[in-house]
Structure 1
């Protein structure tokens, strides 16, 4: 997968202690690993590193967050939390 394809995408963790939890991808650090945030436990300054094979990618892209990442604007945890709550990700997937 290309970096541009995964940035801002909502993903579901399929393995580990966080199984069943939704995150937003903020960076792709190699072909196998991405950095994830949820705005609560995993904040923008303390993202979770996770293997791609332990994630299920959804069709949902947080366009506002992706734009901020690509333009270099600072992300806020409240923006991330608000996106995951307002869009009620659990119902869409």
Structure 2
């Protein structure tokens, strides 16, 4: 749980979304996080996923983290733009 943070870039290693990249938009508990990518998984209905099915990267979506901290609205376009700028979508 210590190495998980909001805005962190992850990719799925299990399930039908295997290999897709997401941004952590919520932390439920020590086993689950909420993920969104603005494309397959919208911010309005983030994917609840087990941590053990994810690979965590050292990259962060800094603009998304700032919006979460300041309670600004995050759009699907923001998520897609961030992942595309990193070459992950």
3-state SS, counterpart of residue 49 of structure 2: strand
Q: What are the superposed Cα offsets for residues 4-36 of structure 1, whole Å, 9 maximum, x if unpaired?
A: x42000001000000000000000011110000
Q: Give the equivalent residue in structure 2 for 1:70.
A: 69
Normalized per residue, the structure richer in helix is 1
> Where in structure 2 are there 5+ consecutive unaligned residues?
none
Q: Distance in 1 between matches of 2:20 and 2:56?
A: 12
> Partners of 1:70 and 1:26 in 2: how far apart?
11
**Root mean square deviation of aligned Cα:** 1.5
**CA-CA distance at 1:89 after TM superposition:** 2.8
Give the length in aligned residue pairs. Answer: 89
Corresponding residue for residue 9 of structure 1 = 8
Residue 2 of structure 1: how far off its partner (Å): 4.2
Match of 1:25 in 2: 24
Question: What is the TM-score when the length of structure 2 is the normalising length?
Answer: 0.93
Gaps of at least 5 residues in structure 1 are none
TM-score (norm 1): 0.89
